[in-house]
Structure 1
Amino acid sequence: MINTENAVVLLVDVQGKLAQKVVGSKELHQKIAQLLRACEHFDVPVIWVEQLPDKLGPTTSALADLMPNNTPIAKQAFSAYVEPQVEQMLSSLNRKQVILCGIETHICVYQTACDLLRAHYHVHLVTDATSSCDASHYQTGIAMMQQHGAWITLVEALLFEWQQAAGGSNFRSFLQLIK
């Protein structure tokens, strides 16, 4: 079970023109935005990476604006985990459940998942918060990660897992997240 005390979200490379070219770009942005709002609601940290931002452009402003107190980590390698700052942040947070989202599913998200799994993290791929420019690449990327041991989830399933019960002092504000 994914719990808020042991989870961290890793947002991978939703930036520049590529973020507009991926399959279902509008829906992808909506789902990632919903996930980022939930992170704030549940106090789940977000690590945010960008692939060569000086060449590919910054993270989509609609998403970056949801993380005003966060700074993206620039990377050159396709895997975010091999970036020393990402590895250090994950280690210092001491959270073993990494919720993975971003683009492209079959390249940067896939390579990040593999490296995290090798480092003994529990990787949970949020399939409706990932995409690729080609639908078959997206589907194959998901299958490749599953073969390596990544768990599959959806934004809504994850949020209800974090909420755990239909009640409590924050339930009304939780309901606003899923609308």
Structure 2
Amino acid sequence: MIIKANETAAIIVDVQEKLMPAMYNEAIVERNVNRLVSGLQLLEVPMIVTQQYTKGIGMTIPSVIETFGEGFNYMEKTSFGIYGEAPIKEAVDGLGKKNIIVCGTETHVCVLQTCIQLKEAGFQPIMVVDACGSRHEEDRLFGIERAKQEGVIVTTYEALLFELMGGATCPVFRQISKIVK
């Protein structure tokens, strides 16, 4: 299946101030989430940002807020998977997209449970593994493995952006090519 931009939305899960410093691959995740968000904005893919218990874990990290710009907003959650929160479930359902890109933290908890819930709800989740972080490498790897077992598509941000463009004739090809360099 080719993933097409007009059939796709994204969820940026819990890339928060007090959580990110604990990620073993923090710098890579931060860089790749920002690159993914930048590319998705150019492709006009709708995105939802979630924050887990903002009062305790803090806001989305400043670089991601900056990448979103003035349009940044988030949806609060306390459930690990996003479908445990009625407003987020309604927002995702309301997008009318069949493919849902998922990235963020932690790979083996909130990202994985979100992917499983989306799959159960009839969506095709797509985990962007180089934009997902966990405190421990082993947890990240097993989160990715479990996602595969559940029928989640796993890919990298660069592969996904090029797939969403479809070819060099895409109007934003040059801009996205600069993002991934």
The TM-score, its normalising length taken from structure 2, stands at 0.95
What do residues 73-131 of structure 1 show as CA deviations (whole Å, max 9, x unaligned)?
01011111221111111111100100000000111111111111110110110000001
What RMSD, in angstroms, separates the aligned Cα atoms of the two structures?
1.1
Q: SS of the residue aligned with 1:8?
A: strand
5+ residue gaps, structure 2, are none
Q: Which moves more between the two structures, 25-34 or 85-94?
A: 85-94
Paired residue total: 179
Q: 2:113 aligns with which of 111, 114, 138?
A: 111
After superposition, residues 11-160 of structure 1 pair within 5 angstroms as 11-67=12-68, 68-160=70-162
Moved over 3 A (4+): none
Q: TM-score, normalised by structure 1?
A: 0.96
Shift of 1:162: 1.2
Q: 2: CA distance between counterparts of 1:69 and 1:60? A: 15
| Residue range with higher mean Cα deviation, 46-55 or 64-73 | 64-73
Counterpart in the other structure of 1:10: 11
Range moving further from structure 2, 169-178 or 120-129: 169-178
Q: Which amino acid aligns with 1:160?
A: F
**CA deviation vs aligned residue, 1:32-56 (integer Å, no higher than 9, x gap):** 0000001110000111000000011
Identify the structure with the greater helix proportion.
2
Amino acid in structure 1 at the alignment position of 2:55: D
Identity rate, percent:
28
Of 23-32 and 61-70, more deviation after overlay is shown by 61-70
CA-CA distance at 1:168 after TM superposition: 4.6
